[in-house]
């Protein structure tokens, strides 16, 4: 029975092809031109992307850029203002009610400060005696007991 159906479908397809006439296809030169243009565009894009990745690597090494945080910022930067506002509204609410905000605030002071990062790494310390050595933070909570 399945064999008969397959034969019937094949016959129907052949009949439809005959009714439509010859199938139009792209010419070889047009196809080669498209493929060549695609390879050229990919090479150009790879070159630009490589330069961008090198700039990011330098920022990670020299300017203390956090790659993970930067990735999120890049993704958010692509959003439209309305979509960004909606995402931010939901994210802040979920961040608060999930307990992540309190958990992050309970971490030992990492010396991150609230500034914009300007002047960091200039060799100056906030310690009164000029030492950059600080005692290791002691753990808190149940796990430390």
- ∠ at Cα 79 (74, 80), nearest 5°? 145
Mark 79-108 as b/e (b = at least 16 C-beta within 10 Å): eeeeeeeeeeeeeeeeeeeeeeeeeeeeee
Q: Could you tell me which residue, 105 or 112, shows the higher pLDDT?
A: 105
Q: What's the pLDDT at 125?
A: 44
Helices (H), the chain: 2-20, 28-63, 67-77, 81-97, 100-105
The per-residue pLDDT for range 28-81, each reduced to its tens digit, is: 999 999 999 999 999 999 999 999 999 999 999 999 999 999 999 999 999 999
């Amino acid at each position: 029975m399945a064999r008969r159906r397959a034969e019937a479908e094949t016959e129907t397809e052949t009949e439809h092809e005959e009714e439509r006439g010859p199938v139009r296809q792209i010419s070889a030169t047009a196809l080669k031109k498209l493929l060549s243009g695609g390879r050229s565009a990919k090479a150009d894009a790879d070159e630009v992307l490589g330069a961008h990745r090198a700039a990011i690597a330098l920022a990670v090494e020299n300017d203390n850029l956090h790659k993970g945080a930067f990735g999120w910022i890049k993704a958010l930067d692509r959003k439209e203002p309305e979509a960004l506002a909606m995402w931010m509204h939901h994210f802040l609410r979920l961040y608060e009610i999930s307990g992540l905000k309190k958990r992050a605030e309970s971490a030992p002071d990492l010396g991150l400060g609230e500034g914009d990062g300007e002047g960091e790494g200039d060799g100056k310390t906030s310690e009164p005696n000029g030492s950059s050595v600080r005692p290791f933070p002691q753990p808190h909570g149940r796990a430390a007991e």
